[in-house]
Structures are given as C-alpha cells and as structure tokens.
Chain A
C-alpha cells in the first residue's frame, strides 16, 4: 500500500539523494588532504553521465525499479549520481554544505513522519490515539 502512494516514493527518493549527499560530503572531508583529489558532487542533471563506475554503485540496487513504479517519474529531476569536479576540497565550505544537507534530511524525515501520521490517522478512522 505504501508503494501505491506517490508521496512515499518521492520522499524515499529524496531521502536516498540526501543520504548520498551526506556520503559525498563525508568522502570529500575524509579525502581533503589527499593530493590530486578533486571534490565530488551529487548531480541531478538528467543529461549527465556518471563520472566513474562509482556513480552506478552508490545508488540502491533497486533504484531503477522503484523509479519505474513511480507514475510521476516524468516530472522528476534526473537520477542522482556522483561527479568529480575540478575543485579542491575546502573544509569550511564542505562543513557548511553538510550542515545544510543534514537539515534537509531531517526535514524530509519530518515530512515522511507526518505523511505516515496521516495514514495512521486514516487507519484509526480518525479516532486518534
């Protein structure tokens, strides 16, 4: 039943993307002192191709299947994938971006919880707790 609700599919995808962003921030911070390491980014550009074999691996195995199930897929942005930039890592910038994306992740969790709360209310026929 949950899969039938497009909101859950959207939120699930957004959470996957947010988790991927957190992974990329962590990788950038961890590799900041490695010579010749270039900053990684999550791209949602539908025309973009993964910069390396890495990008395909970081997505969930059933990501394509889940997206196929989503009726509103045409309205969404492209699949998130990891690309390498030409920039070096700046720790302050990376920390700020990580804080921002962590807030976004928490907001998505809140949205997920509110949506399940509505479903819960419907299951209880509006009787509350």
Chain B
C-alpha cells in the first residue's frame, strides 16, 4: 500500500463526517418547525455508516450507507393560538434532541479533526520521502 492510497482513507473519513455534520445541522435547523395538523412533521435524520473495501487498497473505507429518518416521537406543545395547532390546541414539533445533536456536533468535529490530522501526517511523510536525498 502506497502512502498515496492512505490519503484516500483519510479523505473517506472526512467525507462521512461531513455527511454526519449535514444531518446534525439539518436536525437542529428543523428542531422548531411545525406542520399543519394531519401532515407529517419533520423527522430527525441519522446517517448510517458502513465499512467497505475501497479501491485505494484492501483496508476498510467508511461509506455512507444512507441517511434515514428516525422514528422519534414528536413533541406536543400546548399552544392553541398557533396556526398549526390541532383541535385540542397542541402543536407537533419534531422529536429532535437538541442536546444530543450538540453532542453529535462535538463528536463529528473531533472525528473530522482526527482525520485531517491523519491526512496531514501522511502528507508530511510523503513529502519527506520525496525529499529524501535532496539535501546533499
């Protein structure tokens, strides 16, 4: 396995973290959205990750198997004056867990940084390998 191929592994790692970041950001952005009675409210999304054998080599690469909506129970808030309130005066809000989403964002950020660091270390080693013998 060449050092060039290792860069692809870190790239795949950053790619899946970006997908997770998109889903977490979408969940937070839609946390307060409502829907008229009878129409489905926003359902929080989660990214399903798998390990797959990549072209870069035989080591497993992370891939996004899909982005699926969770079966989270909507939150019912009593707000009879809201345009989307039902006959009983309840408004249905998406079952987004804001604290869980924020923790996800921290975890995603750390994972992305770790992949970026691995990419940087590999790039440095590659550069030093290419520079070998140039100092004489």
Q: List chain A positions with a Cβ less than 8 A from chain B.
A: 19-20, 22-27, 29-35, 37, 40, 53-55, 57-59, 82, 91, 94-95, 98-99, 102, 105-106, 109, 112-113, 116-117, 120, 129
Contacts and interface: CB of A to CB of B under 8 A. Distances in A.
A32 B111 contact: yes
For chain A, what secondary structure do more than half of its interface residues adopt (helix, strand, loop), or is it mixed?
helix
A35 B49 contact: yes
B114 interface: yes
Nearest to A105: B125
Given A19-B2, A32-B13, A98-B121, 8 more contacts: A19-B3, A20-B1, A22-B122, A54-B58, A98-B117, A98-B118, A102-B125, A106-B125
B53 A34 contact: no
B12 interface: yes
B9 interface: yes
A109 to B, nearest CB: 6
Contact of A91 (B3, B114, B129): B114
A113 B110 contact: no
Interface string B109-136: 0110011011101101100110011011
Interface of B: 1-3, 5-6, 9-10, 12-13, 16-17, 20, 49-51, 53, 57-62, 107, 110-111, 114-115, 117-119, 121-122, 124-125, 128-129, 132-133, 135-136
Contact of A31 (B13, B119, B132): B13
25 contacts: A22-B6, A22-B122, A23-B9, A26-B6, A26-B10, A29-B13, A29-B114, A29-B115, A30-B9, A30-B10, A30-B13, A30-B62, A31-B51, A31-B60, A33-B16, A33-B111, A54-B58, A95-B114, A95-B117, A109-B128, A109-B129, A109-B132, A112-B132, A113-B135, A116-B132
A33 B20 contact: yes
B59 to A, nearest CB: 4
A120 B132 CA distance: 13
A57 B129 CA distance: 23
B61 A30 contact: yes
Given A29-B114, A29-B118, A58-B57, A23 B6 contact: yes
Contacts of A109: 128-129, 132
With most chain B CB atoms within 10 A of its CB, the pick from A53, A105, A129 is A105
Nearest to B128: A109
Contact of A113 (B10, B51, B132): B132
A115 B57 CA distance: 31
